[in-house]
């Protein structure tokens, strides 16, 4: 499965994923204590929707085009960032590093990884003047083992891989085990595309196997799952804020109206764990 960010910027999976991310960021901002965010696959930060890559697929038509100018009551931070990047017409789309950066306060930090050399260079150039943002040209999975726990002892690990390799599920599982050993109390959010239930089940199993006792699985699909086309996407969230499940339900319900099709579906539910393990 090829899911490089630039080709899919602003599509329906990006809208769900990034709106959900801002719900976690809003929670982290509620307390004065600083927080850190580790973004494992940063991309380039902000995407030009008129670039060759974005125009080649035009996936924004089934995603951000349907929510721009129609602020999400369930995810106000997401809508605010989107509006602030664009004056009247939709041209730029914020990736996860940009959404996080705009949520940072003076003492908060963003550690963002990007392995692709050109994208990593573009990311460093974009945030070179922001002392709160640390860009690393390295494997994001390895960083989870190397840079946790953060000095702040509070924050989020955001795992958003492109799912280009066949071993992606195994790498997620190993990263979660490493993360749990080093920082069991951190929030972890893992995104995955949905064609069928395979990846979602695999990620849920990885969460259980890592040792997390409190996690939820949220999925939003504007289209019917047929095992072939990209129907939607999901997120597994470990150690979720106590209000997050309800807020994700509200987000999915709102997105179902705005960008959902005749076969739209969504679900937000706890990931069962073996309490005796």
Are 237 and 244 in contact by the 8 Å Cβ rule? The answer is yes
Angstrom distance (rounded) from CA 272 to CA 184: 18
Angstrom distance (rounded) from CA 206 to CA 13: 21
Which residue's structure tokens are 């709106």? 19
The answer for residues whose C-beta is within 8 angstroms of residue 234's C-beta and 6 or more apart is 191, 192, 194, 199, 200, 203, 217, 218, 219, 220
User: Which CA distances in Å does 221 have to 62, 88, 214?
Assistant: 12, 29, 24
Hey, which residues are catalytic here? 160
């Amino acid at each position: 499965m090829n899911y490089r960010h630039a080709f899919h910027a602003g599509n329906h999976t990006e809208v769900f994923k990034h709106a959900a991310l801002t719900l976690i960021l809003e929670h982290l901002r509620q307390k004065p204590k600083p927080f850190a965010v580790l973004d494992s696959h940063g991309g380039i930060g902000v995407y030009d929707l008129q670039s060759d890559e974005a125009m080649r697929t035009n996936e924004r038509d089934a995603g951000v085009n349907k929510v721009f100018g129609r602020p999400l009551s369930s995810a106000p931070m997401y809508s605010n960032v989107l509006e602030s990047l664009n004056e009247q017409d939709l041209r730029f789309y914020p990736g996860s590093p940009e959404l996080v950066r705009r949520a940072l306060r003076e003492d908060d930090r963003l550690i963002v990884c990007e392995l692709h050399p050109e994208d990593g260079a573009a990311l460093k150039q974009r945030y070179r003047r922001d002392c709160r943002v640390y860009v690393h040209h390295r494997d994001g999975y390895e960083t989870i083992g190397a840079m946790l726990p953060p000095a702040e002892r509070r924050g989020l690990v955001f795992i958003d891989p492109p799912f280009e390799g066949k071993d992606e599920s195994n790498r997620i599982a190993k990263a979660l085990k490493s993360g749990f050993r080093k920082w069991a109390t951190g929030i972890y959010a893992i995104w995955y595309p949905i064609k069928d239930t395979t990846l979602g089940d695999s990620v849920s199993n990885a969460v259980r196997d890592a040792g997390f006792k409190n996690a939820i699985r949220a999925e939003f699909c504007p289209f019917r799952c047929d095992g072939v086309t990209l129907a939607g996407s999901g997120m597994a969230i470990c150690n979720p804020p106590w209000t997050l499940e309800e807020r994700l339900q509200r987000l999915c319900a709102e997105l179902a109206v705005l960008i959902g099709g005749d076969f739209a579906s969504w679900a937000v539910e706890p990931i069962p764990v073996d309490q005796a393990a």
